[in-house]
Amino acid sequence: WWNHVFPAPKDPISGVTEAFLADTCPRKINLGVGAYRDDEGKPVVLQCVREAEAKISGCNFLESVFSKVSSKLVEESVKLVYGKDSEVVKEGSYAGIQAISGTGACRLFAEFQRRFYPGSQIYFPDPTWSNHHNIWRDAQVPRRNFHYYDWNAKGLNFSALIDDIKNAPDGSFFLLHPCAHNPTGVDPTEKQWREISYWFKVKNHFPFFDTAYQGFASGDLDQDAQSIRIFLEDGHWIGCAQSFSKNMGLYGHRVGCLSILCADTEKAAAVKSQLEKIARAMYGSPPVHGILLVSSILGDPNIKRLWEKEVKVMVDRIQRMRATLIESLTKLSSSHDWEHIKDQVGMFCYSGLTPEQVNRLRAEFSIYMTRDGRMSMAGVTTGNVSYLANALHEVTKA
């Protein structure tokens, strides 16, 4: 048995962490993983999570399986993206289901898309989070790219993006990052989102928002949902995957939500029942502990306020590190243009380094990042920023 099985290629992101862990250099830096760390480089358990943990301690988990805990999570999650006063939320005209974090929500949707729109394809921004390709490929949905990033200008290739929307067959599925685009850190402006939404309407495209970093672009949760709310205002049917891995630091708990807007509550019930059927055959139901944590945070105004403040603290630290990194590079008289580090938002900086420069950073400085030059700014600290700047200067100078 299994003689025909050979090792799968390493995942570009987890492969970086493995190599980092094996490195014994004391100055090593992991800029691969998009997980928030504090200024000491340590992963953070947010205070809001500790308070939620205290609130649910002693809870009978078996009981919660039979109670409304999963609908509570969904109710609170949809308020975050569509807005608590939105008609869809008030009317309940959405199909919402708890999911195994953002990845699981995307996987459920991909399966749902294939079942109910067989033969349809999905358009991804170029580039996108590498796992999007794996997820839709495994669901056997054909994948296409649409223009997004302009590698020369290090910004959005807006005209090419609009052309691709116009040229796609009517009624195509598009995956959009509503904020803090991974890996580029480049988001459309409000005006550009309005234009994108306009052309989606003209073409009757379906927008699927993958929301893995709400809060991480601007530090404000509502502001980061602006793109979704523009589409909502324009009357689109929307699908949305939400993850609490980053903005609540709950990676290991795998808490997420998938919601799909529907014409009315009856259609919503039908769509939800199909999503539940897919989930049931894939993994039964998700673990309940993280769901209780997230619903306790979102459902308690005091803990929720604390969470909002903590999101801002994380974002401010990342912004500070962007500014300090540029300052350090300027002090070293780097002739390379690094301004995009400051302009980009969210957890990542799409550095523009070549694969050769990335290899040199790893071999000569024990600094790890994905081969596309994406640096997780969450791994930059007051203690390592000048070491990083010096290394970047060394590998980029003529």
List residues binding ligand PMP (CB under 6 A).
34, 101-103, 129, 177, 182, 210, 212, 243, 245, 251, 256
Q: Which CB, 52 or 385, lies closer to ligand PMP?
A: 52
349: tokens are 């900086």
Q: Find the shortest distance in angstroms from Cβ 108 to ligand PMP.
A: 12
Q: Which long-range contacts (CB under 8 A, 24 or more apart) does 299-307 make?
A: 299/72, 299/76, 300/52, 300/55, 303/48, 303/51, 303/52, 303/55, 304/48, 306/47, 306/48, 306/51, 307/46, 307/48, 307/248
**H-helix segments, the chain:** 14-22, 47-56, 61-66, 69-82, 87-91, 101-116, 130-138, 158-167, 190-203, 226-233, 265-283, 289-299, 301-331, 340-343, 355-365, 385-396
Q: Which CB, 16 or 329, lies closer to ligand PMP?
A: 16
**How do 122-126 and 173-176 pair as beta strands?**
parallel
Q: Which CB, 98 or 245, lies closer to ligand PMP?
A: 245
Whole-angstrom distance, CA of residue 245 vs CA of residue 106: 14
Q: Which CB, 214 or 381, lies closer to ligand PMP?
A: 214
Closest CA to 80 of 291, 302, 304, 346: 304
Q: Which CB, 247 or 366, lies closer to ligand PMP?
A: 247
Q: Find the shortest distance in angstroms from Cβ 176 to ligand PMP.
A: 10
Beta bridge pairs of residue 125: 146
Closest CA to 260 of 91, 116, 97, 141: 97
At position 378, the amino acid (one-letter code) is A
Closest CA to 320 of 219, 186, 169, 203: 219
Can you state the angle between helices 101-116 and 130-138, rounded to 10 degrees?
A: 40
Q: Find the shortest distance in angstroms from Cβ 17 to ligand PMP.
A: 12
95: tokens are 């199909």
Q: How many residues does the chain have?
A: 398
Instruction: List the catalytic residues.
Output: 129, 210, 246
Whole-angstrom distance, CA of residue 260 vs CA of residue 267: 10
Q: Which CB, 36 or 129, lies closer to ligand PMP?
A: 129
Q: What is the DSSP letter of 225?
A: G
